[in-house]
Amino acid sequence: MYKEVTRLTTFSDWPVNSPITPTELAEDGFYYTGVVDRVKCAFCGLILKNWKSTDIVTHEHVLHGKRVCDKSKNIKKAYAHYYSDCGVRARTIDRKLAETGLYLDSSVGNIKCFSCGAKFTHVKGDPWFEHALWSPGCKYLRMVKGGDFIREIHEHKTPLP
């Protein structure tokens, strides 16, 4: 089931009235279980069903997955897109940390940046300082704080006033 073409063959009896196509599901790592509209991810074991026309397969995969599934084609992009919203990040972690691009990845217990993927076991003090110190190439950090801020952090290795 690890090959997309193999997963696609399982959808021969897929309900014709389903709003989600077999191609969308197979691309995202799912195969058809043969029961109503129930699918299972070949990589993380997530089972999804009761598809609606408003569902986006990758978003549902991210939203309902209990652990990170990085084997399907689109899942890494989906995590970045989903957590690019500060409000979503703030539901997982302190607002101050969320504003710096961080969220709690409960599947592994790490604090992560939605943009660069940097992982932190904890953040002491100023989260912008920590982010700049450990992940100076982060596009989100550069966009919000700028290159001068990052250079200053790396020159002095102390938080800015």
Q: Is residue 100 part of a domain?
A: yes
Greater model confidence, 109 or 51 = 51
35, part of any domain: yes
Q: What is the pLDDT of residues 81-114, one digit of tens each?
A: 777 888 888 888 999 999 999 998 876 778 999 8
Write down which residue in 60, 81, 102 finishes a domain. 81
Which percentage of the chain shows pLDDT scores above 90? 46
Judge if 59 and 120 occupy the same domain: no
Does residue 108 form part of some domain?
yes
**Domain co-membership, 105 together with 65:** no
How many residues appear in the chain? 161
Q: And the tokens for 122?
A: 């904890």
Are residues 11 and 73 both part of a single domain?
A: yes
Q: What is the mean pLDDT of residues 61-67?
A: 73
CA 146 to chain CA centroid, Å, is 24
Confidence of residue 44 (pLDDT cuts 50, 70, 90): confident
Residue 56 domain-assigned (yes or no): yes
Same-domain status, 10 and 75: yes
**Domains in the chain, number:** 2
Question: Are 97 and 149 members of one domain?
Answer: yes
State the angle between helix axes of 147-156 and 127-134 in degrees (0 to 180), rounded to the nearest 10. Answer: 80
Give the DSSP H/E element, type plus range, for residue 74.
Answer: none
CATH value at residue 150: 1.10.1170.10
SS3 103: strand
52: tokens are: 């609606």
User: Poorest-confidence range of 66-80, 91-105, 129-143?
Assistant: 66-80
In the prediction, which pLDDT does 39 show?
98
Q: What is the structure's pLDDT at 23?
A: 93
Q: How far apart are the C-alpha atoms of 124 and 122, rounded to whole Å?
A: 7
Region 117-136: mean pLDDT is 90
Q: In this predicted model, which residue has the larger pLDDT, 63 or 28?
A: 28
Phi-psi region at 109: left, alpha or beta (left = phi > 0; alpha = psi -120 to 50): left
Domain co-membership, 76 together with 98: no
Rounded percentage of the chain residues whose pLDDT exceeds 70: 88
Structural domain contains residue 141: yes
The answer to whether residue 86 is domain-embedded is no
- Of 10 and 71, the structure prediction assigns the larger pLDDT to 10
Give the model's confidence band at 66: pLDDT under 50 very low, under 70 low, under 90 confident, else very high.
Answer: low
Residue where the block lists tokens 């997530």: 46
User: Which domain covers residue 62, as residue numbers?
Assistant: 4-81
Task: Give 5's DSSP letter.
Answer: H
Residues 120 and 58 in one domain: no
